[in-house]
Amino acid sequence: MTLTLILEQAFNGLQAGVTLFLVAAGLTLILGIMDVVFLAHGAQVMIGAYAAAAIAAATGNFYIGLLLAVPVTFASGYLLEFLLIRHLYRRDHMEQVLATFGLILFFNELIRIGFGPAALYSDLPPSLSGFVEILPGTPYPVYRLGVILVGLACAIAIHMFVSRTRIGAMVRAGANNPAMTAALGINIKLLLRFIFAAGACFAGVAGMMLGPITAVQPGMGEPLLILSLVVIIIGGIGSVRGAFIAAIIVGLVDTLGRVFLPAMLRLVVDQATADGAGPAVASMLVYILMAVVLIFRPTGLFPAKG
Amino acid sequence: MSRAVLELQGLNKSFGALHATRDLSFCVNAGEIHALIGPNGAGKTTLIQQIYGALKPDTGHVLLNGKDITSLPVPGRVRAGIGRSFQISNVLMDFTVLENGIIAEQARLGQSFRFLRPAFDDPDLIVGARKILARVGLDDRADQRVGDLAHGERRMLELALALATAPQLLLLDEPMAGAGPEESQRMSQIIETLRGKLAILLIEHDMDAVFRLADRITVLVEGAVIASGTADEISNSAAVQTAYLGSE
Amino acid sequence: MSAIRDFIGLVGDGVKANQTLWLLVFGFALFPIFTHFADLPFWNDVAMRIMLLGMAAMGLNLVLGYGGMVSFGHAAFIGIGAYCVGISQFYGISNGWAHLGFSIVPCGLAGLVIGYLALRTSGIYFIMITLAFAQMLFFLFVSLEAYGGDDGMSIDRGEFGFIDLYDPLRLYFLIWCALALVSLALMFIVRSRFGVTLRAIKSNESRIEAMGLSPLRFKMVGYVISAVICGIAGTLFASWQEYVSPDIMHWTRSGELMIIIILGGLATLAGPLLGAIVFLLLEESLPMLLGAVAPAYAENWMIIFGPLLIMVVLFGRGGLTGIIDRLSGTRGNADHKAGPR
């Protein structure tokens, strides 16, 4: 258990955290402001990943793939809200679950037809494939560092936008009291569509950046969806700040937990039990954390309402 | 000497900068109809919530028949003897009037955790439910879905359900709200029949009804009691005049 | 003696009030006769899957349709029930009755713990929390290498004494008996004082508080009952499939249960069973249909199923039982009228 390993895994945790944040940010607003259980948010991640991979393959340039995939995911979110989601606002949660579940099936199948069921692996351009020394003697992949930086930049941008602009103020008002915001005559329909599209966009960015790290395949978004639901529960529905803090915590706990928990267990119990129980507990760690938070704060750490 | 069924001791409740309930103390005696009046925003609903248990006061105590119930949750307070009729009808819309009564009756009898016999077919429950409904004259509407009832009838059902638990203290939160003159008259008559049988804390804006029904009146302004006494005392009180005319 | 007559009378009343349900149940009892003469034994298998899925969905419907608790984690209880068979066999216990007994306790306990943690929340929180807990259990079983992990473990059919489960007909009727018993139990529960209170909590929780009752207690009892029913379904399913893997409790299976309930009709006893029939028949027939029309895409039948669901949500009201009620002009199902019949 060297410093190098700990540092490396901590950075991995950070990277996982910001990725989670990008997915959770949009979802927490969709849940908090529109009160829609939008399960197909994971599909947005997948759309972003495939868009980037496809454009990169077509143009031969990784960066162009990323750049052009952003408006693609924004547009897909915009269209989706316009065609379907806005009809779900008045429905009860179960119907929303069902409809968005149907969306997941549809999108996964669509991708499967279009790109085949096998995973795509994207290549990193040489400029991003190297290592950088975050501390003397501690090399870390340039790309993952890039993901962290992009994620943090997005977080700062979202924060600035939500707290400094007029539209941001409307978003905050919407999260705090949707009915009142609508009553104030703000064009709530357009605002909601924008929020939805922006959320989809950030989820897509997460997907795009994940492409080179994990496999791009149908259904890749679902695990992220579930984990971001955990993030939102811990952070508080409707709170972007809560989503950020919770995402970093969850990313760190999950990554560090998987790597170090089995070893730590060996200090307390015998080898056999530790090796058997270790991975099991590590995989549940995040959910145990969620349960603990729920016992003391049923509405999360930073609830937006009230 | 009347004994106090409800006693409030130094209740305080703040919402951030808003001090909604200021060091509030007063009593409601057995058998009396005690009205709580005051301009809008005076904190009447906040106070009722604290008596009912839906809100916890920051400091202070709520005593029911001498027993401190401040830490009891709502169902516990109801079982201890508090009944409440809500300002906005809070009845079971997806059931019929009789079914509402049956559910209330089985709750009163403490039988709600039984799994065998159909509740809505049980003759004992039906008899008990009809008694509850008859008290407010809803017996003939027993098979109506509550969703189809007229507004006034729903207020009656609201009152019937509040009485179903045989409370010792009844919190009537604006029973005449949204009622026309005929409905108000009916409601007043029914409240009149309750006089002396239980303690009633009545919040109402309809001043005619208040002065007709109330034995004692407490006036609340900006979270604090500014006057408390009989109807005559209150109507002659200069402080009350200022409070009402001044805050218009 | 009069107690037994009394009970039979109650059953009779219940059956009269829930005709669609019992028609279906008796239909399933007679189904093997049909498949025998039509020489289609494969459909017995389909029927068994339908019965098990319907049973689990009925369990979930107690809390979801009747209780208004949108629990997205009930596949976890099916999984626990299934793994109880596998794990007890792992330790040498082959008695089927023991398997059933073993699955009831962990499912009940899991229902209690998850229920306690989740039921203090409501709305979107509740949905997400139940989903998260189901995922937690999914990952738990994936990581338990001793019990097969991701690959799962194969299972022998439990020994139920005189009932040899390797005889497909006996397995069929064991499952049928479970379905009938669960239907009976739910029929009583839904109409009982408890059931009526649970339904009232869905309608207006604060009114129930105002009657001096604690809604949480009722919800938790309902949740535990539904968990146990799902567990029983899972136990029998494991025996039928002779295999169990974490996939049985993947969150999409919880979604399937909800689809079935909505398809069939919320808050009705027959709904989940109807929904299971339609769902599994669709699952069997859509690939065939697609294969006839566009053979290259036969495997991608989900691309029709997804939008189909969306259509059902947007345009279907009250599910299949709603349609049946409207067509037959009756209200054959959930109890609405109080008073002597």
At C336, is the pLDDT very low, low, confident or very high (cuts 50, 70, 90)? very low
Q: Residue C250 — φ and ψ, nearest 5°?
A: -65, 150
Query: In this model, does residue C337 exceed pLDDT 60?
Result: no
C270's tokens: 């027959």
Q: Nearest CA to CA, how far is A2 from chain C (Å)?
A: 26
**Alpha carbon distance C283, C280 (integer Å):** 5
> What is the per-residue pLDDT for C338?
36
Q: What is the pLDDT of residue B33?
A: 92
Asked if A216 and A209 count as a contact pair (C-beta separation under 8 A), the reply is: no
Q: Which residues contact A92 (CB under 8 A, 6 or more apart)?
A: none
Q: Give dist(CA B209, CA B189) in Å, integer.
A: 10
Note whether C213 contacts B107, CB cutoff 8 Å: yes
The answer to whether B223 and B24 are in contact (CB under 8 A) is yes
Residues of A in contact with C143 (CB under 8 A): 279-280, 282-283
Would you tell me which residues 9-68 of chain C have a C-beta closer than 8 angstroms to some C-beta of chain B?
10, 13-14
* Inter-chain residue contact C70 with A299, CB threshold 8 Å: no
Where are the domains positioned within chain C?
2-328
C143/A93 CB distance under 8 A: no
| C108-112 own/partner pairs: CB under 8 Å, 24+ apart | C108/C224, C108/C227, C108/C228, C108/C231, C110/C76, C110/C77, C110/C80, C110/C137, C110/C227, C111/C77, C111/C223, C111/C224, C111/C226, C111/C227, C111/C228, C112/C220, C112/C223, C112/C224
* Residue B40: partners with Cβ closer than 8 Å, 6 or more residues away: none
Q: Cα A258 to chain center, whole Å? A: 19
B1 pLDDT band (50/70/90 cuts)? very low
Is the pLDDT at C335 greater than 50? The verdict is no
Residue C340 pLDDT exceeds 70: no
Position A175 scores a pLDDT of: 67
User: End-to-end distance of chain C based on CA atoms, in angstroms?
Assistant: 24
Of A94, A112, A229, the CB nearest to C128: A229
> Residue ranges per domain, chain B?
1-81+167-248, 90-164
Q: Is B244 on the interface with C (CB under 8 A)?
A: no
Q: Does A305 touch chain C (CB under 8 A)?
A: no
Confidence of residue C321 (pLDDT cuts 50, 70, 90): low
Residue B35: partners with Cβ closer than 8 Å, 6 or more residues away: B201, B202, B203, B204, B210, B213, B214, B216, B217, B218
In this prediction the pTM is 0.88
Name the helix (H) or strand (E) containing C231: helix C215-241
pLDDT at C339: 30
**Nearest chain C Cα to A87, which residue?**
C314
Look at C121 and A113 and tell me if their CB atoms are within 8 Å: no
Shortest CA distance from C66: residue in chain B: B94
**Structural tokens at position C217:** 């207690």
Which of the residues C119, C129, C144 would you substitute to probe the A interface, choosing the one with the greatest number of A C-beta atoms within 10 Å? C129
Burial B213-246 (b: 16+ CB within 10 A, else e): bbbbbbbbbbbebbbbeebeebeebeebeebeee
User: Residue A90 CB: number of other CB atoms within 10 A?
Assistant: 8
Of C14, C188, C339, the CB nearest to B98: C339
Measure in Å the smallest separation between the Cα of A127 and chain C Cα atoms.
37
| pLDDT exceeds cutoff 80 at C162 | no
Torsion sign (Cα): B159, B163, B167, B168 = positive
The full set of domains in chain A, from first to last, is 3-296 (1.10.3470)
Cβ neighbours of C194 (radius 10 Å):
23
Asked if A229's CB is within 8 angstroms of C314's CB, the reply is no
Per-residue pLDDT reduced to its tens digit, C75-87: 999 999 999 998 8
C184: nearest CA partner in chain B: B116
CA-based nearest residue to A22, from A152, A195, A122: A152
Which residue of chain C comes nearest to A283, CA vs CA?
C139
Residues 6+ apart with CB under 8 A from A19: A147, A151, A206, A209, A210, A224, A251
Across the interface, whether the CB atoms of C197 and B103 are under 8 A apart is answered: yes
Per residue in B31-54, pLDDT tens?
899 999 888 878 888 999 999 999
Q: Contact A222/A241 with Cβ under 8 angstroms?
A: no
Q: b vs e for B85-116, b when ≥16 Cβ sit within 10 Å of the residue's Cβ? A: bbbebbbbbebbbbbbbbbbbbbbeebbeeee
Please state which CATH number belongs to domain B1-81+167-248: 3.40.50.300
Of the residues C83, C122, C136, the best mutation for testing chain A's interface (the one with the most A CB atoms within 10 Å of its CB) is C136
Element of type H or E holding C284: helix C271-293
Chain C contact set for A31 (CB, 8 A): 124
Contacts of C251 (CB under 8 A, 6+ apart): A226, C72, C73, C75, C131, C134, C135, C138
Helix, coil or strand: residue C152: coil
Contact C155, C244 (CB under 8 A): yes
Per-residue pLDDT at C89 exceeds 60:
yes
Dihedral over alpha carbons C113, C114, C120, C125 (to 10 degrees): 160
Q: Which of C69, C189, C179, C81 is nearest to C127 (CA)?
A: C69
Give partners of B (≥3 CB pairs < 8 A).
C
Give every CB contact of residue C109 below 8 A, 6+ residues apart in sequence.
none
Lowest average pLDDT, out of B104-118, B165-179, C14-28, C297-311, goes to: C297-311
CATH topology of domain C2-328: ABC transporter involved in vitamin B12 uptake, BtuC (1.10.3470)
Residue C330 predicted with pLDDT over 60: no
> Quick one: which of C236, C235, C257, C222 has its CA closest to C80?
C235
Distance CA A298, CA A280 (A): 25
Distance CA(C65)–CA(A234), nearest Å, equals: 28
Strand A138-141, strand B59-64: pairing: unpaired
pLDDT of A1 reads 60
| Residue A269, token pair as written in the block | 């119990």
Report CB contact under 8 Å: B103, C341.
Answer: no
Q: Do A298 and C120 touch (CB under 8 A)?
A: yes
Average pLDDT on C127-155 reads: 86
* C208 Cβ contact list (under 8 Å, min separation 6): B103, B107, C197, C200, C201, C215, C218
Instruction: Name the strand (E) or helix (H) holding B61.
Output: strand B59-64
What number of other Cβ atoms are within 10 A of residue C316's Cβ? 16
**With the CA atoms of A27, A28, A34 and A36 taken in that order, what torsion angle do they form, in degrees rounded to the nearest 10?**
60
The number of helix segments (H) and strand segments (E) in chain C equals 14, 2
Question: Distance from C206 to chain B by nearest Cα, in Å?
Answer: 8
Q: Which of C203, C209, C335 sits opposite B120 (nearest CB)?
A: C335
Q: Which residues contact C5 (CB under 8 A, 6 or more apart)?
A: none
Q: How long is chain C?
A: 341
Determine contact, residues B223/B19, Cβ cutoff 8 Å. Answer: yes
Q: What is the pLDDT of residue A123?
A: 78
For residue C308, list chain A residues with Cβ-Cβ distance below 8 A.
Answer: 102
C4 touching chain B per CB within 8 A: no
Q: Determine contact, residues A238/A29, Cβ cutoff 8 Å.
A: yes
Min Cα–Cα distance to chain C from A29, Å: 13
Backbone angles phi, psi at C245, to 5 degrees: -145, 165
pLDDT mean over C33-57: 90
Interface probe, candidates C207, C218, C224, C331, chain B, greatest B C-beta count within 10 A = C207
Fill in the DSSP letter of residue A216.
B
Average pLDDT over residues C172-178: 92
Q: Which residues contact B189 (CB under 8 A, 6 or more apart)?
A: none
How far is Cα A201 from Cα A209, in angstroms, rounded to an integer? Answer: 12
CA A195/CA A86 separation, integer angstroms: 12
Residues of chain A with pLDDT under 50: 306
A106 at the C interface (CB within 8 A)? yes
A3 alpha carbon, distance to own chain's centre: 28
At B3-32, the pLDDT tens digits run 889 999 999 998 888 888 888 898 999 889
